[in-house]
Structure 1
């Protein structure tokens, strides 16, 4: 099985629960293959703010996973564009993603696909928006330390996953989730590309769902 994984504070409790369940049920994960959504350009795997480091701390080091099967874009690649192409090809060679986990940015980005990223995009480099750098600045000691560029799985790569789950928590995501619920698929809101997928589950807490119609706030919404 090939899993597409995401990072961020929203995912931390999920990974903790996943580790607990795998250990309790003695699930064999030795042949599990993972592909992370993104990585900052310029940060190596042992930089504390790199996504490879995040995954090591929150998931990889807690399970008997094969390192050769754990894929995260190389933020220190000599040729980032070539590395991006190879990353999409590696996913296809693995048979595609069986499951993709997503978070969502306050501007609607999934992965680091910023607004107006073509829905047809493959893994690519991206200049991070001011909003994204501001949102992620809380993880760095100074705004000047926040990387300006990243590598990210493309929207088309994401949409080719057989199943997708998006998690959203916090009132600061409420406006974005309301736009996603009410609007049509539009490249101005990258997450709206999920409306083109046949098997998407969206999980929100009450705060993130507070901008939705009242009957939806107490439901388990599923978008198709």
Structure 2
């Protein structure tokens, strides 16, 4: 696990954007995994700026989102499809036919929808770089605590903690979804690289368990300790409960030196 320590949320977004930029520039047909929520918004703003500066293009990019609320219309303002349109897709040159979310309506069989989503990912050649956030309870995607580490895309019931954390996004007159389709933990682990971003004190304990704790279904993000290419980009607040930060800073300097010499694996595979 490669830990990148940043001063604040803005620097965190800039550092994360470098990884996405490298993928888009050096991979002929990149496959990018996307996340929603408040954390990646700054990253998407950085990517939009890079696009406007003509430093990157999404024209040949295929995307797969981590999750989508169950039985929500794509045009609904709370859908993750609407989120992606507003926060990223409407501002870049991506072909919307190449953007995918695990949408599932009441009239569809979630198991079949999940299987089809997995097949679409495989047909695209797999995900090169999966962007992740982390929930205050350690979830990645909507893989809540106790989720199987071998899970695939499926329907999950949201925990009370997640419902509470997300309630700020819903007005009092809106019905907040209690279930969502999500990539499974094994699906996420199949990505060639994973890029997890965390900011703020509210994520500090989950980050500590992810980085320093045992690999456990009770902290789904802890499975990233087992990923060959996991990059975790943190601001000071999110990293505040991690010990031995001086070593992590030195290790990151050495990691960057090796990247400058030898490049990134997904670049070598282009």
**Corresponding residue for residue 109 of structure 2:** 79
**Corresponding residue for residue 130 of structure 1:** 160
- Give distance in 1, aligned partners of 2:68 and 2:140: 13
Q: Would you say 1:167 and 2:189 are equivalent positions?
A: no
Between 28-37 and 95-104, the greater mean CA deviation after superposition: 28-37
Q: What's the offset of the Cα at 1:9?
A: 0.7
Q: Would you say 1:94 and 2:141 are equivalent positions?
A: no
Residue number among 46, 51, 61 corresponding to 2:80 in the alignment = 51
Q: What's the offset of the Cα at 1:218?
A: 7.7
**Corresponding residue for residue 27 of structure 1:** 56
Number of residues of Structure 1 aligned to a counterpart in Structure 2? 222
- Give distance in 1, aligned partners of 2:246 and 2:174: 40
- Give distance in 2, aligned partners of 1:73 and 1:27: 26
The answer on whether the counterparts of 1:203 and 1:220 sit within 8 Å (CA) in structure 2 is no
Residue number among 107, 116, 139 corresponding to 2:169 in the alignment = 139
- Give distance in 1, aligned partners of 2:73 and 2:143: 21
The answer on whether the counterparts of 2:132 and 2:197 sit within 8 Å (CA) in structure 1 is yes
Q: Would you say 1:60 and 2:76 are equivalent positions?
A: no
- Give distance in 1, aligned partners of 2:246 and 2:147: 29
- Give distance in 2, aligned partners of 1:157 and 1:220: 31
- Give distance in 1, aligned partners of 2:130 and 2:221: 13
Task: Structure 1: give runs of 5+ residues left out of the alignment.
Answer: none
What TM-score, normalized by structure 1, do the two folds share? 0.94
| Structure 1 ranges of 4+ moved more than 6 A | none
Structure with greater helix percent:
2
Q: CA RMSD in A?
A: 1.8
The answer on whether the counterparts of 2:104 and 2:113 sit within 8 Å (CA) in structure 1 is no
- Give distance in 2, aligned partners of 1:131 and 1:154: 19
Q: Would you say 1:191 and 2:221 are equivalent positions?
A: yes
Q: Would you say 1:208 and 2:251 are equivalent positions?
A: no
Q: What's the offset of the Cα at 1:96?
A: 0.3
What TM-score, normalized by structure 2, do the two folds share? 0.78
Higher relative contact order (CA 8 A, sep 6+): 2
Q: What's the offset of the Cα at 1:216?
A: 5.0
Q: What's the offset of the Cα at 1:81?
A: 2.0
